[in-house]
Amino acid sequence: MKRVLLLSMFTFIFSTSFAQNINWVNRNGALKVVGGKILNSKNVDPQLRGVSLSWSIWGGKKYYNPNVVNWLQSDFNISLLRVSMAVQPDSGYLQNPVEQEKLIARTIDVAIKQGLYVLIDWHDHHANEHLEQSKIFFAKMAKRYVGKPNVIYEIFNEPERIEWQTVKDYAVEVIKEIRKYDAENIIVVGSPHWDQDIDIVAKDPIKGFNNIAYSFHFYASEPSHQELLMKRADQAISAGLPIFVTEWGVGEANGDGKFDVEKTDKWFAWMEKNKLSWANWNITDKKETTAILQPGASSTGKWKLNMLTPAGLYIRTQLKKFNK
């Protein structure tokens, strides 16, 4: 009897300590945009849920490695990883294209091998000023990953105070470049005003290309990111615009500030209601509200719960609950 009890206890511990490492791409197949929604190969909304790595420079750079990707899959149960390649700051892509491309490609390759979906994020607030560099980069990514249903191209992160027509003109040129090599994978286009003016985009979306979606960002505890911002997104959804929440945080718009759990729960419920795919910001140990890791957290994953911030504990809980 003791042996049976011990075996049962061991089986329980083993099963609760190790996740299933679900191959999400095998489950969902290639994604597509149909009728204003992102659907999987079975014409069902897959609702991808995951996390965003931080800028691929500074302190966030150390988490761009296979061990972290594996841990995020096995312990956090992510189905989506956002790879946020820094473009304009010092040491970013504009200064070090070879180094940055090598860093993110290694991370993307691991995620693909693990069956995760990957957002390749051109993390640039002024992408319209770097059109030629963007076209070169995404042409390389499209050639490298054509035929890989895991890959999603995010071509303009948070346009600042830029008119939609400017963003749209830039996006059309980059889309054309990607489509020379990859005819199918989803491309996510940025929205004006830090990916908030999604209602403006809905009135004049890009035409002539398939599988195009649009990014929407919010910070759940930011006072200005409440009813008005949610209403804009609701209007865009009602208008049939396919939306992807490629970045959101539990704190305020500067990444720091208060973590209002009640407001965060409200935003989270809104995403679930609308079956929106999302990536939470961000995997870093910087001392700020939206950081998922405590300062000094290992660069190789295997984080104990006391190495997660309140944001990290919240996101991990939600991912383990909903990604099944």
Q: Do 284 and 314 contact (CB within 8 A), yes or no? A: no
In a domain, 6, yes or no: no
Clarify whether 132 is annotated catalytic. Answer: no
Rounded average pLDDT per 10-residue block, the chain, 324 residues: 36 44 96 97 97 97 98 98 98 98 98 98 98 98 98 98 97 98 98 97 98 98 94 98 98 96 98 98 98 98 98 98 96
Residue 10, Cβ neighbours under 10 Å: how many? 10
* Interaxial angle between packed helices 310-322 and 261-273, expressed in degrees from 0 to 180 and rounded to the nearest 10: 30
User: CA separation (Å) from 186 to 148, 153, 154, 212?
Assistant: 11, 6, 9, 6
Q: Where are the beta strands (DSSP E) in the chain?
A: 32-34, 37-39, 49-53, 80-86, 117-123, 151-154, 187-189, 212-219, 243-249, 278-283
The answer to the question of residue 12 being in a domain is no
Report pLDDT for 165.
98
For residue 297, give Cα distances in angstroms to 12, 249, 294, 314.
Answer: 28, 19, 6, 17
Residue with tokens 């396919």: 242
**Alpha helices in 1-96, H assignment, sequence order:** 2-17, 24-28, 66-74
Residue 17, phi then psi, degrees to nearest 5: -90, -25
* The predicted structure's pLDDT at residue 294: 98
Report how many helices (DSSP H) and strands (DSSP E) the chain contains, helices first.
Answer: 11, 10
- Give the phi and the psi of residue 179 in degrees, each rounded to 5: -70, -10
pLDDT at 8: 36
Residue 31 maps to a domain: yes
- The reply to whether 247 belongs to the active site is yes
Residue 116 lies in a domain: yes
Residue 257 within any structural domain of the chain: yes
Q: Is residue 11 part of a domain?
A: no
For residue 200, what is the enclosing H or E element? helix 198-202
- Domain-embedded: residue 8: no
- CATH code of the domain containing 141: 3.20.20.80
**Which one of 154, 158, 222, 252 is the catalytic residue?**
158
* Residue 67 falls inside a structural domain: yes
Of 154, 177, 247, 252, catalytic: 247
pLDDT at site 20:
66
- Report the predicted TM-score, pTM, of the whole model to 2 decimal places: 0.93
Per the structure, how many domains does the chain have?
Answer: 1
Whether the CB-CB separation of 35 and 240 falls below 8 Å is answered with: yes
The range of the structural domain enclosing residue 277 comes to 21-322
